[in-house]
Amino acid sequence: MLVITNSYKYLLYLFILMSTSFGQALNADSYQLISDQDYITGEDGVVRMYVNILGHVEHPGTFLVYDGIDFISLIALAGGMSKGANLEMIKIFNDNDFIITNFNNFLNNGKINDKVIIKPHTTIYVEETRLSNLFRGSNLLNSVLQILNIALTIERTSSD
């Protein structure tokens, strides 16, 4: 009798899983379902949407933000740019097109590209500079110093 009860329990779980929208995904950070809808209205009446901030930022991920949020607030929500971020080539993907904006313009004169429009499911991708990637991704500096150390050691031992 206990086996039959467990079977019904598993069938019920399976039914619940199958009745869930296939357009929803599991957010690993909060373990809640992310809707495929463009806008979500909370109990407080505030209209919200999901956006993605990826790449070389402190806390990349998917964020539920209010409609009308600006680009600078989104970057701040992700913890800001990481060291070595390429501020001149920030890609913003909306639907089937994307634009590239230069964040240095904002830092230098307080103006950001007027074409930056944050829509539901917008994805912002911050690249890393090549120089930063070279030094972080490989141990080039460490390798050069080791070779220099070996050369100095050989020179010192051969002169003795």
Question: Where are the domains positioned within the chain?
Answer: 23-128, 130-160
pTM of the full predicted structure? 0.62
Which pLDDT tens digit goes with each residue over 127-150? Answer: 988 777 666 666 767 777 888 888
62/98 Cα distance (integer angstroms): 18
58/83 Cα distance (integer angstroms): 9
Q: Residue 17: pLDDT above 60? A: no
Q: Residue 11: pLDDT above 70? A: no
Which pLDDT tens digit goes with each residue over 24-80? Answer: 444 444 444 566 778 888 788 888 999 999 999 999 999 999 988 988 899 999 999
CA angle in degrees (0–180, nearest 5) for 90-51-22: 130
CATH number of 23-128, picked from 3.40.470.10, 1.10.443.10, 1.20.1260.10, 3.10.560.10 = 3.10.560.10
